[in-house]
Structure 1
Amino acid sequence: MHTVAVIGAGKIGELVLSGLLRAGWPAEKLLATARRPERGAELQERYGVRLVDNATAVAEAGVLAIAVKPQDADALLAEIGAKIPADKLIISLCAGLPTSFFAARLPEGTPVVRVMTNTPALVDQAMTAISAGPHATGEHLAIAEEMFKPLGSTIRVPETQQDAVTALSGSGPAYFYLLVEAMIDAGILLGLPRQVAHELIVQTAIGSAVMLRDSGEHPVKLREAVTSPAGTTISAIRELENHGVRAALLSALEAARDRAREIAAQA
């Protein structure tokens, strides 16, 4: 089992630390760095991991999980890039940054794996997409999968698809939360107490997601099973289509994909 250092343990870095601990990763095999001392102390107290500086993380860890904000990655690599041995695995959790960004700032041949996960990792229901950089082997991908499988599901994708993954599943939880929020408000408009509307919609969302996952059916088929001729559901769907909900989702995901590309271009 490799010693893993999470460099820049903000929200995403904390997801990784807590998930690895829940999966049985020994705390003594986990290191963390944080820009603010109070943040480091909080992580140390909450998880029992050792707080170190970046140089110590590079020296002691076999895997470096870089979870800083994309705009901070250049300064970080200017600080530690030359100190990283070429055989050390780098896992990038920096949204939008391609592995070529790291390759240009690390010793020749350093393996980099690009990872996009999402916040349901907090409840071990993440969707994590993993891509190999030019020098990453199947063994390196397997190490990344070992780290992230305890957080939910993993999938290997070509790096060229990572911006689309970011738009679809990386940002995806926010779209569902927005939809649930709107449906709760609709329930209140229809006369339901907020808590009742919340309970109805959340459980309906959970049940629908489980059916999608476990039935193997196409979502169209599942939707048709709820949609009776001249019934309530088809009346609601007509209104959704009249208001361009499907087109709005397509445009929203394109905007998220394009923003991921802009982040890479600005780095």
Structure 2
Amino acid sequence: MMPCICTTCGVQYAAQTQKPEYCTVCCDDRQYVNWQGQTWTTLAQMQQYYRNNIQEVEPNVYQIQTTPRFAIGQKAHLIQTAAGNVLWDCVTLLDQETIEKINQLGGIAAIAISHPHYFATMVNWSQAFGGVPVYLHALDKEWVMQPDSSLHFWEGARKPLLDYNLQLIKCGGHFPGASVLYWPNGADGKGVLFSGDTIQVAMDRQSVSFMYSYPNLIPLNKPSILGIQEAVAKVSFDRIYGAFEAHIPENARQALDKSITRYLHIYE
């Protein structure tokens, strides 16, 4: 039987003789089970109805998003560097058109995932580009539903990638191992933070938010927000690309600092 994909969260499970009874990721209180009950699809079925839009958002950065919207509307980014390209986060759909387009852009040398809601079909992505390493924080290992030799579990606070011009930073909060990707050469050398929804860009594009669960509206506690603040305290950046539609094009550091102050004021 082909590996099953949960239609609500987009995470793929290892091949089994029958469909899983439920999605472990969606049963967690950070996510939710489909109101109509648990439903599954496969990558082959998805390839019939969905496609990926790959769009350049600034020099050497491409956004990858599936249309029509699937699961939680995941978005990935491809960052081009002299040492090779990094795929940050993962969308579930992978098809030949996507593979060919990314190969035209230089392929993928490494994959890094912010947190379990973006595990998606990360094993397929790795295999499609030669079995490249997929970097996940070890604190989120329990959420891997499709084990594979390509998965590398890093530990600690930071992990340099490729030529060390890219760096993973563990922030915690949304998940114990929730991480962001720091690219100091981005934004014309002013620095870019790819934040997933560990640091969620708000729709005003002038502030960010911190939540334990976004769909269930469970706020993040004060110690976790302080942990995120400390994790990125010494990082210089002017732009943030978030998990979904919005990004902060400039003055992102100021927006982050202001948002943290606002949150901490609420907890006083």
User: What TM-score results when the alignment is normalised by the length of structure 1?
Assistant: 0.30
Instruction: Name the larger-Rg structure.
Output: 1
User: What TM-score results when the alignment is normalised by the length of structure 2?
Assistant: 0.30
Higher relative strand content: 2
